[in-house]
Structure 1
Amino acid sequence: MKLQHHLGGLENLGPVNVEPRVFVAPWEKRIFGIHTVMMAESDHLSDAAPAYPVKELPTTFRNTWTWASLRTGAEDMQPFAYFKYRYYEKWLMGISQFFIDQGYVTAKELADRTAWYAAQPDAPLPDHPNPAIRQQIESYLEQGDSPYQARPHAARFVPGQKVRVADPDAVDHTRLPGYLRNKQGVIDVVYPGAYGYFVSTGPDGIGAPMPVYRVAFPAETIWGAAKSEPNTVIYADLFDAYLCDSTNQ
């Protein structure tokens, strides 16, 4: 995974921010709301579990937007820029760039509108309530979009089996923590059913439903005994595509 995510074992990154508030400033709530509305109107929900009537929604938004979309935008940031900005500032940049890339707004239009509101901070924001969209958002918040599939998928591994984490090519977005690549662990739990992912990650290997495992790693095998507390075990939920049999290795 790229530098700015899953920073396990990296040193000299400065103090950890222990801010307990979810939203530090009022505008952050609006960014979270925009992201939620985009997910609730996402094209992929027509084939989700449960299925939603998104094709009938009175909206001009006609794209797929999921947590994977948000994370891809953040992971694609230049690492030093990533560390520079606050959490919801990164959300704002990712969402803004998405709307520009998809042609909903031009960079100049966005810049001009930003400058206009900066000069008139008390000006009212657009407000066009729509009952159908509101109902869709409420349904999405209540029911979500489950990646779980109940139909049986044969699991390659069983509890107690030794496995090695793969080292796939770097891609725009992955669910594999970088510090676990090439590490050996033991299957702790085989979760029932199978789990898909919002998007296909290509050579990274996830997308279609597959078994998911909880894998146990002694901390010293990841970061070394000198940097690990004694008797510490790290657990990670990993897709089947990220694991290899290490019995004979």
Structure 2
Amino acid sequence: MKLQHTLGGLQNLGPVNVETQVFVEPWEKRIFGIHTAMMAESTHLSGALPQYPVAGLPTTFRNTWTWASLRTGAEGMQPFEYFKYRYYEKWLMGISQFFIDEGYLSADELNQKIDYYRANPGAPLPNQPNPAIATQIHEYLTKGDSPLRGLTQAPRFAQGDEVRVADPDAVDHTRLPGYLRNKPGKVDLVYPGAFSYFVSTGPDGIGDPMPVYRVSVDAAEIWGKEKSEPNTTIYADLFEAYLQPSN
């Protein structure tokens, strides 16, 4: 598994960042807005339960972009490069590389823009208001794109069942926290309905809609008794593919 997914319990990674501000620098708000606009224009919305007019949007963006796309780009970084940069710096690099890879602009064009704004920090940024896209973004933020779906079969586990978290092969993107792999736990809650993810994770197990469970794990099972506060329980929402019977 990738190092940046196994931070729980690892030593010598330096002090914990206790920054409480969501956006530390003004540009971070802008990159969050770009990411949100990309999701609201993403082609995957054509299959969402809300009836989004994706085909008729006045945009040249014709790709799928979801949270999975953002995370896959960040997780593809060399682990120690990953630790070097701030949170939204990783967003910026992932989104920039996506636009280059998909041919929306070249690396040279991006570098020219960077050089221009470094030399002219007060220059106005592009501003092309688009009411249709603004409406789409508002609708997307209100209605979302991951609807609850009906189950095709009963959940494999019930509340109170003893389980063990799976340890599947590492893939490009996972929703399984590394520190929970192969740990024993108990099903605390079975969420109603079934849930899917934006992309299939292949050998990792996420694809078709499936049950999701809230699983409780004794903190001492994760970090050891000597490094855990007494009577501390960790709760995690896990797809059914990530759970196995305890025996």
Bin for the TM-score computed over the shorter chain: over 0.9
Q: Secondary structure at the match of 1:13?
A: coil
Contact 1:152 1:193 in 2 (8 A): no
2:162 paired residue number:
162
2-structure distance, mates of 1:135, 1:186? 44
CA deviations over 1:147-193 (Å, ceiling 9, x no partner): 42145641000111111111111101000011111111111111000
Q: Judge conservation of contact 1:153–1:194 (CA < 8 Å) in 2.
A: no
**Does the CA contact (< 8 Å) of 1:160 and 1:187 recur in 2?**
yes
Give 2:229's aligned residue: 229
What whole-Å deviation, never above 9, does each CA across 1:169-220 have from its counterpart, x for those lacking one? Answer: 1101000011111111111111000001010111111022100001111111
CA distance in 2, matches of 1:244, 1:151: 19
Alignment partner, residue 129 of structure 2: 129
Deviation at 1:49?
Answer: 2.2
Counterpart for residue 116 of structure 2: 116
Q: Percent identity?
A: 74
Unpaired runs of 5+ residues, structure 1, are none
Runs of 4 or more above 4 Å deviation: none
Partner of 1:204: 204
* Match of residue 40 from structure 2: 40
Contact preservation (8 Å) 1:42, 1:64: yes
Aligned mates of 2:21, 2:218 — CA distance in 1: 32
How far apart in 2 are the matches of 1:165 and 1:147? 26
Amino acid at match of 1:94: G
Q: Is the 8 A contact 1:153 1:193 kept in 2?
A: no
Residue number in structure 2 paired with 1:140: 140
Tell me if 1:54 matches 2:30.
no
- Counterpart-to-counterpart distance in 2, 1:186 and 1:57: 46
The whole-number CA distance in structure 1 between the counterparts of 2:221 and 2:5 is 20
Contact 2:151-2:210 at 8 Å conserved across structures: no
**Distance in 2 (alpha carbons) for counterparts of 1:207 and 1:135:** 30
* Number of equivalenced pairs: 247
Change in CA separation of 1:147 and 1:10 when aligned onto 2, cut-off 3 Å: farther
TM-score by length of 1: 0.96
RMSD across aligned positions (CA): 1.2
Amino acid across the alignment from 1:140: Y
Aligned to 1:100: 100
The residue aligned with 1:149 is: 149
- Gap runs ≥5 in structure 2: none
Change (3 A) 1:6 1:144: farther
State how 1:13-92 maps to structure 2 within 5 Å: 13-92=13-92
Of the structure 1 ranges 144-153 and 106-115, higher mean CA displacement relative to structure 2 is found in 144-153
Q: TM-score, normalised by structure 2?
A: 0.96
Q: Kindly indicate whether the alpha-carbon contact (under 8 Å) linking 1:206 and 1:241 is maintained by their aligned counterparts in 2.
A: yes
Structure 1 pair 6–136 and aligned structure 2 pair: CA distance change class (3 A)? farther
